[in-house]
Protein backbone atom coordinates (compact mmCIF):
# COMPACT_ATOMS: atom_id res chain seq x y z
CA UNK A 1 0.00 0.00 0.00
CA UNK A 2 1.30 3.46 -0.85
CA UNK A 3 1.75 6.12 1.78
CA UNK A 4 -1.20 8.37 0.76
CA UNK A 5 -3.52 5.33 0.85
CA UNK A 6 -2.21 4.35 4.27
CA UNK A 7 -2.91 7.87 5.49
CA UNK A 8 -6.39 7.83 3.94
CA UNK A 9 -7.16 4.48 5.61
CA UNK A 10 -6.05 5.87 8.94
CA UNK A 11 -8.21 8.98 8.52
CA UNK A 12 -11.25 6.97 7.38
CA UNK A 13 -11.07 4.61 10.34
CA UNK A 14 -10.47 7.44 12.80
CA UNK A 15 -13.67 9.01 11.48
CA UNK A 16 -15.55 5.70 11.59
CA UNK A 17 -14.35 5.17 15.17
CA UNK A 18 -16.50 8.17 16.06
CA UNK A 19 -19.36 7.79 13.58
CA UNK A 20 -20.10 4.08 14.05
CA UNK A 21 -20.63 3.99 17.84
CA UNK A 22 -22.41 7.36 17.71
CA UNK A 23 -24.82 6.12 15.03
CA UNK A 24 -25.50 2.82 16.78
CA UNK A 25 -26.04 4.55 20.11
CA UNK A 26 -28.31 7.19 18.56
CA UNK A 27 -30.31 4.48 16.80
CA UNK A 28 -30.64 2.55 20.03
CA UNK A 29 -31.86 5.59 21.96
CA UNK A 30 -34.41 6.28 19.22
CA UNK A 31 -36.02 2.85 19.44
CA UNK A 32 -39.70 3.54 20.14
CA UNK A 33 -40.77 2.48 23.61
CA UNK A 34 -44.13 0.74 24.01
CA UNK A 35 -46.87 3.29 24.70
CA UNK A 36 -48.04 3.51 28.29
CA UNK A 37 -51.53 2.07 28.97
CA UNK A 38 -54.21 4.66 28.33
CA UNK A 39 -57.31 2.58 28.91
CA UNK A 40 -60.32 4.52 30.05
CA UNK A 41 -60.82 1.90 32.73
CA UNK A 42 -58.83 -1.13 33.77
CA UNK A 43 -59.86 -4.32 32.02
CA UNK A 44 -62.29 -6.38 34.02
CA UNK A 45 -60.86 -9.78 34.63
CA UNK A 46 -64.13 -11.66 35.02
CA UNK A 47 -67.77 -11.42 34.07
CA UNK A 48 -70.22 -10.20 36.67
CA UNK A 49 -72.56 -13.00 37.83
CA UNK A 50 -76.06 -11.79 36.83
CA UNK A 51 -76.96 -11.85 33.14
CA UNK A 52 -79.52 -9.12 32.42
CA UNK A 53 -79.68 -9.53 28.64
CA UNK A 54 -77.78 -10.27 25.47
CA UNK A 55 -77.65 -9.48 21.79
CA UNK A 56 -76.02 -12.05 19.54
CA UNK A 57 -74.88 -11.58 15.94
CA UNK A 58 -72.55 -13.56 13.71
CA UNK A 59 -69.62 -11.25 14.26
CA UNK A 60 -70.16 -10.35 17.90
CA UNK A 61 -71.96 -11.22 21.13
CA UNK A 62 -72.91 -8.46 23.54
CA UNK A 63 -74.15 -9.11 27.09
CA UNK A 64 -75.29 -6.81 29.85
CA UNK A 65 -74.39 -8.19 33.25
CA UNK A 66 -74.71 -6.98 36.81
CA UNK A 67 -73.25 -7.56 40.24
CA UNK A 68 -75.34 -9.64 42.66
CA UNK A 69 -76.58 -6.52 44.46
CA UNK A 70 -77.09 -4.67 41.10
CA UNK A 71 -74.88 -1.82 42.31
CA UNK A 72 -72.66 -2.22 39.24
CA UNK A 73 -73.40 -3.05 35.60
CA UNK A 74 -71.05 -4.58 33.09
CA UNK A 75 -71.08 -4.59 29.30
CA UNK A 76 -69.35 -7.68 27.95
CA UNK A 77 -68.48 -7.40 24.24
CA UNK A 78 -67.11 -10.52 22.49
CA UNK A 79 -65.75 -9.48 19.09
CA UNK A 80 -65.56 -12.57 16.89
CA UNK A 81 -64.16 -10.99 13.72
CA UNK A 82 -61.97 -7.94 13.10
CA UNK A 83 -63.79 -4.64 13.04
CA UNK A 84 -64.07 -3.01 9.66
CA UNK A 85 -64.40 0.47 11.16
CA UNK A 86 -61.11 2.24 11.99
CA UNK A 87 -62.45 3.52 15.28
CA UNK A 88 -65.23 2.23 17.52
CA UNK A 89 -66.09 3.92 20.80
CA UNK A 90 -68.68 2.36 23.08
CA UNK A 91 -71.17 4.48 25.03
CA UNK A 92 -73.73 3.48 27.65
CA UNK A 93 -76.27 6.23 27.28
CA UNK A 94 -74.17 9.42 27.23
CA UNK A 95 -71.25 7.87 29.16
CA UNK A 96 -68.15 6.81 27.27
CA UNK A 97 -67.18 3.29 28.31
CA UNK A 98 -64.16 2.63 26.12
CA UNK A 99 -63.03 1.38 22.75
CA UNK A 100 -63.34 -1.91 20.96
CA UNK A 101 -60.78 -3.04 18.43
CA UNK A 102 -59.45 -6.39 17.26
CA UNK A 103 -61.01 -9.76 17.99
CA UNK A 104 -61.30 -10.47 21.70
CA UNK A 105 -63.37 -9.96 24.82
CA UNK A 106 -63.98 -6.44 26.12
CA UNK A 107 -65.61 -5.77 29.49
CA UNK A 108 -66.70 -2.32 30.63
CA UNK A 109 -68.10 -1.63 34.10
CA UNK A 110 -70.43 1.27 34.80
CA UNK A 111 -72.98 2.36 37.39
CA UNK A 112 -76.69 1.99 36.63
CA UNK A 113 -78.54 5.19 35.77
CA UNK A 114 -81.00 6.40 38.41
CA UNK A 115 -83.76 6.65 35.78
CA UNK A 116 -84.33 2.95 35.50
CA UNK A 117 -83.30 -0.32 34.04
CA UNK A 118 -83.29 0.68 30.36
CA UNK A 119 -79.77 0.93 28.95
CA UNK A 120 -78.87 1.97 25.40
CA UNK A 121 -75.44 1.00 24.07
CA UNK A 122 -74.07 3.02 21.15
CA UNK A 123 -71.02 2.20 19.03
CA UNK A 124 -69.63 5.33 17.38
CA UNK A 125 -66.95 5.75 14.68
CA UNK A 126 -65.26 8.96 15.73
CA UNK A 127 -63.20 9.24 12.54
CA UNK A 128 -66.17 9.17 10.21
CA UNK A 129 -68.56 10.65 12.81
CA UNK A 130 -71.02 7.87 12.26
CA UNK A 131 -73.09 5.71 14.58
CA UNK A 132 -72.21 2.12 13.78
CA UNK A 133 -74.73 0.38 15.97
CA UNK A 134 -77.28 0.90 18.73
CA UNK A 135 -78.28 -1.89 21.11
CA UNK A 136 -81.04 -1.57 23.65
CA UNK A 137 -81.20 -3.58 26.85
Partner 1 sequence: MGASYQAVGWNRQKKQYDWILFFFCVSYLAVFIGFSLGFNPDMTFETLLIRSTSTLALLLLHVILSIGPLVRLDSRFLPLLYNRRHLGVTMFTVAAVHGGFSIFQFHGLGNINPLLSLFLSNTQYRSFQAFPFQMLGFFALLIFLLMAATSHDFWLHVLTPRIWKSLHMGVYIAYFLIILHVVLGVIQYETNPVFIWILFTGSGALVTLHLLAGGREVRKDNIHFPKAVDGFVKVCAIGEIPPDRAKVFCLGVERIAVFRVEGMLHAIHNVCKHQNGPLGEGKVIDGCITCPWHGYQYLPKNGQSPPPFTERVSTYDVRIIDGNVYVDPRPYPEGTERPGAPIDQ
Question: Which strand (E) or helix (H) includes residue 97?
Answer: strand 95-99
Q: Which is nearer to partner 1, 17 or 40 (CB)?
A: 17
| Maximum alpha-carbon separation in the chain | 93
Q: Is 111 helix (H, G, I), strand (E, B) or coil?
A: coil
- Which backbone phi and psi does 19 adopt, to 5 degrees? -65, -40
Q: Is 114 helix (H, G, I), strand (E, B) or coil?
A: coil
Count of residues near partner 1 by CB under 8 A: 25
Q: Which is nearer to partner 1, 10 or 93 (CB)?
A: 10
Q: Which is nearer to partner 1, 21 or 93 (CB)?
A: 21
Selected binder of partner 1 within 19, 40, 95, 131 (CB under 8 A): 19
Q: Which residues bind partner 1 (CB under 8 A)?
A: 1-3, 5-10, 12-14, 16-17, 19-21, 23-24, 26-28, 30-32
Amino acid sequence: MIKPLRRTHWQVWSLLAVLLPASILAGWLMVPRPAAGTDLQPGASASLPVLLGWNDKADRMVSLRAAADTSMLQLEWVERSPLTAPSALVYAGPALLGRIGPQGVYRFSFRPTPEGRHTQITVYDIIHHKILEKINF
